[in-house]
Amino acid sequence: MEEQSKWIRESLTSFPQPPNRTNHNAFYGPIDDLFSAVKEKKVLLEEESSIGSLDLGASSCTSNEDAHRWKFYEEDIATLRGKTCKSVKASVLLRKLRWCTLGLQFDWSKRNYNVSLPHKKIPDALCQLARRLAAPAMPIGEEFQPEAAIVNYFGLGDTLGGHLDDMEADWSKPIVSMSLGCKAIFLLGGKSREDPPLAMFLRSGDAVLMAGEARECFHGVPRIFTDRENAEIASLDLQFSHEDDHFFLEYIRNSRININIRQVF
Ligand code: OGA
Ligand code: MN
């Protein structure tokens, strides 16, 4: 349980930090410290372009135009300036966070790993956990090498359509997939989209090893449950009972997080 709350905390604080990319990158550029901004009720504002170009000055002509055009501001400043420029609350951005990528960065538009993008190694503790969970699906004497991870964030109504994870060079290596927060329905199909799927619940703390035949099968998440009775997070709740943890609790009561860890090569 403590382990679960630790990964929930990391998923909301450190994992979405640049150079790791999130679904918000394409529109807003890199966003620093989103979760702190939520706690501080900050608002992301778009710098007016005239101010932006003054800021750049003569000295910095290298960075791309769009870099750091959006910045967090206190609520009251944002209210004043929000009338003339585009704005979005940090809390809204957190609710709309759908994914972030750790380690080698997966490029969703090209559906491949872009090794030329700047990236950090996957944190050691997560690597160790993934190695331990992957061990049953590895040949004796061989160790799983976590090189990339995708963190998926699900709010009520969010789904993950049926897909294959086919962008990794070596399918003999498993994918380690961890569920945190609200319970979900997971569908495991066959090698063809037409094969009828097997349905199972994934609860907080469950780990799925996509290995062997299953590694080549379609799968998806059609539903998560956020109501108290079905979410099954009562014991996780206790981990966030301190008042400082209010924002974690509020988030996880309505969300599911999936961390899936991959060996790419
Ligand atoms: C994925 C995936 C499953 C899940 O991200 O590729 O299959 O349980 N996730 O969310
Ligand atoms: Mn998948």
Show me where the domains of the chain are located.
Answer: 1-18+100-262, 24-50+61-96
* Partner residues linked to 155 by β-bridges: 255
Q: Cis ω on the peptide bond leading into residue 19 (within 30° of 0)?
A: yes
Q: Comparing C-alpha atoms, which of 147, 151, 138 is closest to residue 209?
A: 138
Atom 8, ligand 1: which residue's CA is nearest?
258
Would strands 112-113 and 70-73 be described as parallel, antiparallel, or unpaired?
unpaired
Give the homologous superfamily in CATH for domain 1-18+100-262: Alpha-ketoglutarate-dependent dioxygenase AlkB-like (2.60.120.590)
**Cα-to-centroid distance, 159 and ligand 1 (Å):** 10
H/E segment holding residue 2 = helix 2-12
Say how far apart CA 48 and CA 182 lie, in whole Å.
40
> Average pLDDT for residues 202-211, to the nearest whole number?
97
**Cα-to-centroid distance, 180 and ligand 1 (Å):** 12
In this prediction, residue 169 carries a pLDDT of: 84
> Average pLDDT for residues 138-151, to the nearest whole number?
94
Q: Is 119 annotated as a binding residue?
A: no
Amino acid, single-letter form, for residue 159: T
- Reading the block at residue 7, the tokens are 């990964």
Atom 1, ligand 1: which residue's CA is nearest?
260
Determine which of 39-53, 109-123, 189-203, 239-253 has the lowest per-residue pLDDT on average: 39-53
DSSP reduced 3-state for 234? helix
Question: Is residue 67 pLDDT above 70, yes or no?
Answer: no
Which of residues 47 and 227 earns the better pLDDT score? Answer: 227
**Cα-to-centroid distance, 188 and ligand 1 (Å):** 11
In this prediction, residue 78 carries a pLDDT of: 80
